[in-house]
Amino acid sequence: MKLYQVNKQLEKLILQLEPDPESEETPSDEKGINEDEIIAQIHALRMQREDMLQHLARLVLNGRAEAAALKTEEARLKKRRDALEAKEARLIRILDRECGGETTDLGIATLRYRKTSRVEVTDEAKAVNWLKRHKLTDAIRIVAPTVYKTAVRKILNDGRKVPGCNMVEDRSCSLN
């Protein structure tokens, strides 16, 4: 029996014990059912309901414990991943230094270089004032006035100058 069925059955049995306000008779009297039998059934159903509720509580506690264990495992794996990523970055820097910026076939992989660019903000206050004056507020984060570099990149790529900002040519290194 399911929990909602137990609750429904309990409700029916309890209604059989409640007297009619006008006649003071209970439905069990009309049907010739012994009240002790009904009370025994109610007690049995309540025990069954309590067992079901305890089972649900165990499921919740087990789920909570399992989630906590997974959270701990996630933290452990993240720490391990971060360490491996830091090691990779160190090793790439060594390869970059040794290959001197030239594409190099290493047998199992090729070290390649490509041009990249990024916005460098040298004077944020000047940049913010200029962007506000020229109504380019989409290039400014209003919460804490900072330069939105992606939007400034578009402005700089269009050939306009933004005081306090310039395009810096750089390179990135990848191992394929």
On whether the CB atoms of residues 104 and 110 are closer than 8 A, the answer is yes
Give the per-residue pLDDT at 71.
97
Q: Work out the burial of residue 103: count CB atoms within 10 Å of its CB; fewer than 13 is exposed, 13-18 middle, 19 or more buried.
A: exposed
User: What are the φ and ψ backbone dihedral angles of 69, each rounded to 5 degrees?
Assistant: -65, -40
Give the per-residue pLDDT at 79.
97
- The rounded distance, in Å, linking the Cα atoms of 59 and 48 is 17
Query: What residues in the chain have per-residue pLDDT under 50?
Result: none
The one-letter code for the residue type at 121 is: V
Helix, strand, coil percentages, rounded to 5, for the chain = 60, 15, 25
Give the per-residue pLDDT at 176.
56
Give the per-residue pLDDT at 27.
61
3-state SS class at 70? helix
pTM for the model stands at 0.50
- The rounded distance, in Å, linking the Cα atoms of 125 and 145 is 8
